[in-house]
Amino acid sequence: MKSANIFRVWLLLFPLLFFTTNALANELDSTNFKMIGVSTSGGGGIMESTNYSLLSTAGQISADPRNYSTNYRINQDPSARFTAAQPGIQCFETTTNGSTDCTSGPTELLSGGMVAICGPDGCYDKARFEIEPYVNPVDTLYMVQISTDNFSSDIKCVDGSVFTPKTLSSCDINDFRTEEDWEDEVFNIKGLQSNTQYHIRISALHGDFSQSDFSIVESATTAQGLIEFDIDIAISSGIDTETTPPYSVTFSSGSELIAGAAASTASSLIWLDARSSSAGGIAIIQFGKYGGLYSATTTETIESATENLDTTGAEGFGLQSYYIDYESSGYLGEITSSTDYAGSNNEVGIVSTTANMIYNGDGPINDGRMGMYVKARAGASRTASSDYSEEIYFVIVPRY
C-alpha cells in the first residue's frame, strides 16, 4: 500500500484596500499598504525624504518669471523647463516728449523722448519698442504681434526684415529676431497710420517647441502729423520778435530807392518760423505777384533777378538769407538756404511770378527760424514814384 502524499498549503493574507480618496503626495506610500486610484489635491513641488524624491505639480503651466521667488514657483510642471520665459515690454512709444521708458535707444531719444527723433508731436508713421527678456538668454528669439483693436479681430505680426505689419498667415520663423536685432533698429515698427492707437504683444522662442505665452499687451497712439508756419517782420536783431499781420517791408527814410544810386537794404527783415514732423523734410517756396517792384503810377517795374546788385549799371530786386536756426539732432532735419539766396553783400535771389525754393529742410524740423533781407536798386533812367511795390507769398511744403 502506497503512502499518501500530504501537501500543506499556507495562505499568506495581506490586507488589500481598494478605494478612491484624496491624499497628499507624501502620503501615497507605506510599508504596509498601497493605495490604488488615488487623486491628489491641488498643490505640488519637489518633496524629498531619505528613501525617495517625488516631483508633483498641479495647475496651469506658466513660464512667467514674475511668478518666481526664492521660496516658491507657481504653476510649473516639467514641461516649463523647456518653454521660453514669457517676455515683457520695456517700452512702446510714439509721442513721448522729454522722457522715455526706453533704455537702449539713441542718446536723443533717451534725453528727449520720441519728439527728439521724430519732430514736433512725435512719430506719425512709426514707433519704437524694447523687450524685457527676464531670464531668457541672449540668443532667445522674439516675435511681435500688432493690432488696432487689442487683438479682437485685427491681428498682424511685425516683419522681422522690414519692420512693417503684415498678415498673420504670412508670418514665419524669419520674423523671430533676437532682442539685439529688434532694438538695433531705432524705429522697429514702421508703416503705421497717423492718429491711430496700436497694441503690441511679444512672444519668446528658445529652441524647438518652446514658444512662450504672449506678454502683457502695451499700447501707443501715433501722432496726427504736424506742420506750423509763421511770418514776422523785425530788424536784424529781432530774432525772437513775434509780430501779427499785416506784414509789410518798406524802403523808407535812409533806405529809400534813388534812381542811379547804390543798392539799398530795407531796415526790416522777413522772418519765418517753421515746425514740421514730416520725415521727408520741408521746402519753403516763394513767388511774387509782379516779378519785381511795380508802380501803378508809372506802370514801370524794377524787375527781380538773381544777380549782384553791386555790378555797374545793375538794377533789380530780390531776397538774401541772413539767419538760419533750428534744433539740432542726428535724427531731425537741417535747414539750408538755396544757393541763389545764400549770397553775401548785395547778391540776391529772384522773386519771380513762379515758385522758387528759398529754404530746404531735409527731415523733421523742431523750432526752425529763418530771416532774410529785402534788397533793391533802381536804375539811373527809372522814373521816380512812391508806389513801387511787390506782394510776396511764402508757402511751406511738407514731404510726408
- Peptide bond preceding 65: is omega within 30 degrees of 0, i.e. cis? no
For residues 286-310, average pLDDT: 97
Average per-residue pLDDT for the chain: 86
What is the helix (H) or strand (E) element at residue 131, kind and residue range?
strand 126-132
In this predicted model, what pLDDT tens digit does every residue of 307-325 receive, in sequence order?
A: 999 999 999 999 999 999 9
Going by pLDDT thresholds of 50, 70 and 90, the confidence category of residue 303 is very high
CB atoms within 10 A of CB 260: 12
The answer to whether residue 44 scores a pLDDT higher than 60 is no
Residue 223 contacts residue 118 (beta carbons within 8 Å): yes
Looking at residue 8, its pLDDT comes to 44
Domain boundaries, the chain: 11-58, 88-221, 227-398
Looking at residue 10, its pLDDT comes to 43
More confident residue, 32 or 203: 203
pTM, rounded to two decimals: 0.76
Residue 355 C-beta-side C-alpha neighbours within 13 Å:
10
User: What CATH number was assigned to the domain covering residues 88-221?
Assistant: 2.60.40.10
392, with CB counted inside 10 A (0-12, 13-18, 19+), is middle
Residue found by looking up cell 487623486 in the block: 39
The answer to whether residue 167 scores a pLDDT higher than 60 is yes
In this predicted model, what pLDDT tens digit does every residue of 377-386 receive, in sequence order?
A: 999 999 999 8
Going by pLDDT thresholds of 50, 70 and 90, the confidence category of residue 196 is very high
